[in-house]
Amino acid sequence: MCRRLKSEQTIDRRSFATSRLSTTLGLRSVSRAQLLLLSLAALSFAQWDCRSALADDTRLTQERPSIKADRSREDWSMLANPKLRTQPLDSLKYIPLFPSNPNSYVSLGLNLREIFEVSDAPAFGTVGANPRDSYWLQRAQFHIDAHLNENWQVFTQFEDVRAFDKTVVGPNDANRFDLRQAFVGYTQETDAGTFTARVGRQDFAFDLERFVSTRDGPNVRQSFDAVWAGWETDAWRLYGLVSRPVQYRDDRPFDDRSNGDAMFSGARVEWQLSPTIEASAYYALYQRKDAIFLTASGEEDRHILNIRTAGKHAGFDWDAEAMGQVGKVGSADILAWAVGARTGYTFEELTWSPRIGLQFDVASGDRDASDGTLSTFNPLFPNGFYFSLGGHTGYANLVHIKPSVTIQPTENLTLMAGVGLLWRQTTQDAVYTLPSIPVAGTAGHGPAWTGAYLQAKADYRFNPNLTGSLEAVHYQVGSALRDAGGRDSNYVRAELKYSW
């Protein structure tokens, strides 16, 4: 029987960035060839893991490195010991460079993600050029992780991202063969702490990824051309960065570029108050040319202050974050803010470990178009997973409450159901869809009530390498959206992901 390496459960700020994968509803619109290929791949991967789990030495198997959401942070130097090379192709996970130094090696890796989506009313049906659609999305990534020694790392990742049968293909949907990440990293450990620096194209994400994320929900993730440096001790972590978001193009291979019209820079501090409680804060400057909002436009200089705390205690868990924004857009002053919180209680002693959760979010909108102050919150680089994958809700001008129930019938299966209730923070501003797109005809019209959605999701781990998820969302619009031409929406997403 296959063994499963149990992941450590932490409140790590990257835990919510872990990709989920799924099986699907409505696969009738997928070709039989694609379905057969995907099924065979899933079966072969599962069998592969079963064979690998038959290693004789349990202790050695448990010491194997684990696959991480950020593949560049994996450490395969343990495979310098031949006894730990128990799985197929371990010779490619650890290719020694200098035999005298076990920390000098090259490691290869692969990510494959297959998604099937159905949406009968994208943007609530308010955009005629984006009709009801069902389509197949595919993401393939391959990386080469070279550790020259215990200090120096050169990480390179390539990707090919495709959208099949999608009526409207945007920059978040497709990116033919291109450079995903390429950076040089340096790490120096001392008795006082650890210094780390990276230069090049890379990923970074903050906390639950409400506002700064790798954007794993859409088919094309968000990376940055950045200089990043930090200092870490057991209790503290301090770092700063200067970056430009990558501008994705799909005209030809290797045509992605740094976005010369945008820059994101800042400094951040994190404090581990106890093994289960942490706090963080950061200052950032977001700059963008030719920014366009409903009531202001021009060059955007947005100063950002963010604070957050998260933790677990006696069955309770919480993650609360607040952000304030000031600055200028053209001639208008910026004064915007947002607060987000997730909390819950897990009945660990009960069967299936039920968790009762409550999510609460508020983001400011612009109350007066003529007062010279722009109060519409800018969610920066938001996470498509945060509300739901349907893209119905953007983090601007909203009040959002979502009670939920999560159960775990087996170690590998998690089920969640929630009901989201939404209002506008001010009726003078628009209803926004993901990431921050105003719905035409809603600003200044209709009541604050926006609508409600029902979300159901299942996550399943077939083995340490293959996972799946299925999500369904039904959104019932309020009168403000209905009067603007919107209608109720149904969305289904099925996903499978394999990592090696």
Q: In the structure encoding, which two tokens stand for residue 62, read together?
A: 């448990």
> How is residue 439 annotated by DSSP?
P
What own/partner pairs with CB < 8 Å and gap ≥ 24 does 279-284 have?
279/307, 279/308, 279/309, 279/310, 280/13, 280/206, 280/207, 280/306, 280/307, 280/308, 280/309, 281/305, 281/306, 281/307, 281/308, 282/206, 282/306, 284/212
Mean pLDDT of the region 70-90: 91
Q: What is the pLDDT of residue 257?
A: 94
CB atoms within 10 A of CB 265: 16
Q: Are strands 413-423 and 236-247 parallel, antiparallel or unpaired?
A: unpaired
pLDDT(403) > 70: yes
Q: Which residue has the higher pLDDT, 225 or 168?
A: 225
Strands 332-346 and 373-374: parallel
Please give the pLDDT value at position 385.
82
Q: Measuring CA to CA, which residue among 489, 470, 351 is closest to residue 420?
A: 489
pLDDT bin (cut points 50, 70, 90) of residue 1 is very low
Instruction: Say which CATH topology domain 15-499 has.
Output: Porin (2.40.160)
Cα separations in angstroms, 36 against 43, 53, 296: 11, 26, 51
Check pLDDT > 90 for residue 53. Answer: no
Contact 375, 198 (CB under 8 A): no
Average pLDDT, the chain: 88
Unique residue bearing structure tokens 């009709």: 131
pLDDT at position 440 is 93
Q: Give the per-residue pLDDT at 328.
A: 98
- The per-residue DSSP string of 3-32 comes to --PPPPP---TTGGGS------S-GGGS-H
Given a contact cutoff of 8 angstroms between Cβ atoms, the answer to whether 38 and 494 are in contact is: no
- Both tokens of 313, joined, read 């205690």
Q: Are 173 and 221 in contact (CB under 8 A)?
A: no
489-499 and 398-410 beta bridge pairing: unpaired
pLDDT tens track for 359-377: 999 999 999 999 999 999 9
pLDDT tens-digit profile of 280-304? 999 999 999 999 999 999 999 999 9
pLDDT-based confidence at residue 108 (cuts at 50, 70, 90): very high
Q: What is the pLDDT of residue 60?
A: 43
Q: What is the mean pLDDT of residues 100-113?
A: 96
431 Cβ neighbours under 8 A, 6+ residues apart:
397, 424, 438, 439, 442, 450, 480, 481, 484
Q: Radius of gyration over alpha carbons of the chain, in Å?
A: 23
Instruction: Respond yes or no on whether the N-terminal peptide bond of residue 435 is cis (omega within 30° of 0).
Output: yes
pLDDT of residue 392: 87
Residue 132 has pLDDT above 80, yes or no: yes
Q: How far apart are CA 395 and CA 329, in angstroms?
A: 19
The pTM assigned to this predicted structure is 0.84
Classify residue 381 by its DSSP letter: B
Integer Cα distance of 382 and 18 in angstroms = 15
Give percent above pLDDT 90 in the chain. Answer: 77
- How far does CA 173 lie from the centroid of its chain? 15
* Matching residue, tokens 């996972």: 467
